[in-house]
Chain A
């Protein structure tokens, strides 16, 4: 079974703090993704990575950065947290279509509150 883990289930931070959200997958997947989920807006893609040290902006990258130094780990960084970044953050991973593993598998999510 694919396992995607996220470092924290719940996190409370103050405005202006630097926040790190960590995600680890154990299936040797090439692709990793960060989404946020907000009521009425569904899941929106922040950033994704298709290889180590490679990244691409998603639909809402403003205010976020990412890091992928190792294949299994993908970090989301909020350089200076703001209250409008209070949300549920979901990490996902997927393999390559040719391997038939391109379905995205999600972690349990991190509920971030910025005060």
Chain B
């Protein structure tokens, strides 16, 4: 039972354009969401997060949008750069819990 889903296994975008990565969840108890970025042969690194009391959080080129009614979040990267090429995982957790539930990941490729 996949509670966090990333339906696009891969995405290809040109340098300078916008990358939009999507994530859907089924558990309505999730109230905190995170995005991690992973390069090959490295562990995931934290990118950006959002609490369910917000619908948008921005950090430089990265913006996360949350639509609670649709149980959907998205990560926007503007402008995309070749160094953004990586696998992106969305993750969710409930309340003050310690456990994260991860999605299956989306491989982003930013082409010159």
B70 within 8 A of A: no
Count of chain A residues near B, Cβ 8 A: 26
Residue pair A90, B44 in contact (C-beta under 8 Å): yes
A40 to B7 alpha-carbon distance, docked (Å): 10
Residues of B within 8 A of A (CB): 4, 6, 9, 34, 36, 41-46, 49, 89, 91, 96, 98-105
Interface string of A22-54 (1 = CB under 8 A from B): 000000000101010000111111001010000
Contact B104 A42 (CB under 8 A): yes
Cβ-defined contact, A48 with B9, below 8 A: no
CB distance from B89 to the nearest CB of A (A): 6
Asked if A107 contacts B98 (CB within 8 A), the reply is no
Which chain B positions have C-beta within 8 A of A50?
98
What DSSP secondary structure best describes chain A's contact surface? strand
| Min C-beta distance of B8 to chain A, whole Å | 12
A interface, CB within 8 angstroms of B: 4, 9, 31, 33, 35, 40-45, 48, 50, 58, 90, 92, 94, 97, 102-109
Which of B9, B34, B43, B44 neighbours the largest number of chain A CB atoms within 10 Å of its CB? B43
- Rounded to whole angstroms, the CA-CA distance of A42 and B33 in the bound complex is 16
